[in-house]
Structure 1
Amino acid sequence: MTGPDKARLNLDPDLARRGAVDGAWWPTGYDAGAELPALIAAIDQRLQRRVRRVGLHVDTWHNIPRHIAAPGRQVKVGWFRTIDPHVVNLIIPGVEHLNLLVIPPDTPPVAAAKALGLATRCRGRTRPGDILTAAGPDNPTASADADTAANALGLAGWDNEGGQPRQPARRSPAP
């Protein structure tokens, strides 16, 4: 992959940190050395800011370099087991950080396009894996439009403690 115009990327336009991810990226493979330069260039170009660091899951990617050459700098690359395997994290001055959903390279184009859209519409605590499941071709509701799916996913977020689906608030019984 070469150049920012080749990066299959969708960013939340306001980057308001309302969701678990700030957009989505659909790389052509899991070779970090080959894929990250185009992602970094695309983010630099779209945000008019320079990516300083990239973090990714060590077991998801191969050929992970310590640095990626970018115009006028070297971007540090960190690999972790604690980061979600479906996320790449970018540190950018002036922006808290970006968490991008990584759409698996072998995802069918229709499902990938839906995931690219859902990642910018899902608000709340929707997990990256839930977005991929909702956009997947095996999901019976995957034919729903992206806004409907995003609303459904927003209600399906998980509680931070205990991993239980959020329940609607219950009314107190009348006295």
Structure 2
Amino acid sequence: MIVVPRLLADLLEQVDDTRAAHLALDFADHVLDLQRDEIAAPVSAACRELVAAAHEAIDLGEGHPRLFTAQERLLEVAARWEGNRHVLAPGAGLVLDAARVGTQRMVEEEAGYQPGSLLRCLDIARKCQAKAGRWHAQRCSDGADERLAACRARWEEARWQVQHLIATEPTPGGVRHD
């Protein structure tokens, strides 16, 4: 039997830091899609903007005003919704963490902070799996086994992550094999 979460961890060890940073954002974006009906429009828009700005910063290899503005905007919007955990919990924290995978050093440098410990793409992948599991467990019909539903959802999220990683893997040397 293939243990999908273990396979994902093995595959993520093989990708470079830039690719891992992009994957972390993709994984968080997938969970946003899963929970889209429960995320308030302003929070969702701010999450999507930070994802886009972080992708851009990672590609540029430097922090830029769009990244810092998007991060501040998400924190501002998330703070407004703080009293309602169903609005804040599904998106803001996960996206902020995913963006940190590839931009934390940029943000620390810009702010003059000492380097902190870095999140890894695998950390975000596992958080996404856990969020998907909790989300599905909360939506079980009466009498359904919530633990089993959560376990299956975590597994399916890991499977999606592996499929996404493979589907987006660049061809070695840029050679196309169509």
TM-score, structure 1 length as denominator?
A: 0.27
Higher strand share: 1
TM-score, structure 2 length as denominator?
A: 0.27
**Which protein, 1 or 2, shows the higher relative CO under an 8 Å CA cutoff with sep ≥ 6?**
2
